[in-house]
Structure 1
Amino acid sequence: MSLDLGAVGRQVGPAVVEWSSTDAILYALGVGAGQLDPAAERELTTENSNGVTQQILPTFAIVLSQRAGLAVDIGQVDRAKVVHGEQKLTLHQPLSVEGSASLTARVSGIFDKGSGALIRTTIDAVDPASGAPLFTSEGASFLRGAGGFGGPKEAPADWPEPHREPDVSVAVPTRTDQALLYRLSGDRNPLHSDPVLATRAGFDRPILHGLCTFGITARAALQALQVDPGALASISGRFTKPVLPGETFTVSLWKDGDRTIYRTADGDGDAVLDRGVLTTR
């Protein structure tokens, strides 16, 4: 295994991706919209309901980042040792229900964590016609066993950990087939669908996509805060524990000035998505 430390700043793209209103609906269903009450959240799950204008859940932008297929060369690494650690999405303007975007990806940093390497990537999306910024997706992946190379150390990010009861706390159930539904939006990693592969990876059965948990959390938080999806400006969080489909999440929210701090926990009370921050316009 050889991580290319010279990959920082390396860029690929642009690649143009398109999406339809059907894609937006399928994603919303994949993160649980309408699950408890099919008559609710129709703005996310239907395009022709009487008196309801379709909207898009803005975390769908991350699906577009995956669809672009922009894999920056970081050397010969064992993908089985790569763990998705963090995700941040910044919306520069509300995402349209259907449209197209031109995306470019780059490696924005590689940091020495001792037991592994933290690789940060950034994907910028712009309107293909005007060049206007649409969104920025920032991910961090941990490559186990690749640390100790004497590289830069990343300073811990500031996160105002709450020390009081949440302002809002909401229980969010997931379906046992949640991963099977979510994968139709594009992430076909068999770890989330193949029991044989899941067992080899050390799980009792296929686990839920981390980005599905991310989308479920965003949807639940916006609903609990009574915020219009188009008003989301940014959302970030750190993945801390694998999740099995069928779990009931608890999304806890703390209002902190012009932002909301959040944490998503599983049925055992363990954080599965932590150090969360959400901002709105």
Structure 2
Amino acid sequence: MTELASTPARLVGVDLGTRVVRYDERDAILYALAVGARAVDLDLVFEDRLRVLPTFALTLAQWAPDELGALGAFDTKSALHGSQTLDVVAPLPRSGEIAMSAHVGEVWDKGRAAVYEVVVESDYFVARWSLFAPGFGGFGGERGPSVSPAPEQDPDSVGVLGTSVDQAALYRLTGDRHHIHIDPEAAASIGQPRPILQGLCTLAAATLPLADMLGAHPASLTALSGRFAAPVFPGDTSQIRAWGDAVDAQFDVATARGPILTAGRASFA
């Protein structure tokens, strides 16, 4: 652990660096397939009509939370991805390069854990990771905001999120190659009976059926947020509940085992 990381509150505002990430149409199409796009979704998987999914930005910016881990701010084997937000500034180009800068936002003290916010900014998006770090709390900081409950009334629409048994293996090719998503032994080391689906894959995959439920296009996403409540296993089928409309929708996702995404919010142009 670095001297800076030994006191979590001192990390607020710390610069995590800049990065220019290059990609091409093949990368954007592979990403769309990895989060559930089908061959008939030509504007997501065919280069002649391609619209890049906005959530692709989250794979381009994944380097930033890794940089915070490299500072020793949390144990990379036990830290959890608590929540994620994405605000779209402009549509991602089909190919090219994106310049990004990252810094540590808020740091909250949950008693038994610290929660770090990693902020990534570019000309195309602003993304925020919330990282739950067990064993790093108790430093006397503020606890931070609480989670908003789901609306009490019946949802305005209900849909289905299906995942394939090979989805985690495919999504790994977009950049998240953590062993818990492919190796049964690594999954067992964190108490899971088999490899789990990447959280960002689950969140992005949910936007496809959600957009359909709301009469929108998934590439028209302008804002997205959600909290990760439990892991998803490749092959799971989940229920999506939504309140509101395409301009401003609240949503959650659950399997038969219970909630997997809570406090969801999405907007489509």
The TM-score, its normalising length taken from structure 2, stands at 0.91
Task: Say whether 1:44 aligns with 2:34.
Answer: no
Which 4+ stretches in 1 moved above 6 angstroms? none
Say whether residues 1:220 and 2:209 are aligned partners: yes
1:248 to 227, 230, 237: 237
- Structure 2: stretches of 5+ with no match in the other structure: none
Q: 2:253: which partner in 1?
A: 264
Q: Secondary structure at the match of 1:271?
A: strand
1:139 aligns to 2:129 (yes or no): yes
Over residues 193-242 of structure 1, what are the superposed CA-to-partner deviations in whole Å (9 max), with x where a residue is unaligned?
A: 01111112211111110011011111221222221334321000000001
Contact 1:173 1:248 in 2 (8 A): yes
Q: Distance in 2 between matches of 1:138 and 1:100?
A: 20
> Does the 8 Å contact 2:81/2:228 carry over to 1?
yes
* Structure 1 runs not aligned, ≥5 long: 126-132
Change (3 A) 1:242 1:69: closer
**Correspondence 1:206 to 2:206:** no
Q: In the aligned structure 2, how far is the partner of 1:276 from the partner of 1:185?
A: 23
Residue 94 of structure 1 pairs with residue 91 of structure 2: yes
Q: Which moved more, 1:222-231 or 1:77-86?
A: 222-231
Q: Distance in 2 between matches of 1:134 and 1:75?
A: 29
CA 30–230 in structure 1, closer or farther in 2 if over 3 Å, else same: closer
Matches within 5 A, 1:1-281: 2-34=6-38, 38=39, 40-48=40-48, 53-67=49-63, 71-72=67-68, 74-75=71-72, 77-125=74-122, 133-156=123-146, 159=148, 161-255=150-244, 258-268=247-257, 270-281=258-269
- Shift of the 76–169 alpha-carbon distance from structure 1 to 2, 3 Å rule, reads closer
Matched residues in 2 for 1:93 and 1:76: separation?
A: 32
Deviation of 1:175 after TM superposition, in Å, equals 0.8
The answer on whether the counterparts of 1:3 and 1:75 sit within 8 Å (CA) in structure 2 is: no
Check conservation: 1:5, 1:74, Cα contact below 8 A: no
- Counterpart CA distance in 2 for 1:69 and 1:100 is 20
Deviations 1:152-208 (A, max 9, x none): 221326x46312222221112111111001111010001100111111221111111
* Aligned-pair CA distance for 1:57: 1.2
Q: Compute the RMSD of aligned alpha carbons.
A: 1.9
- State the percentage of identical aligned residues: 36
Shift of 1:70: 6.2
How many pairs does the alignment contain?
264
Contact 2:83 2:225 in 1 (8 A): yes
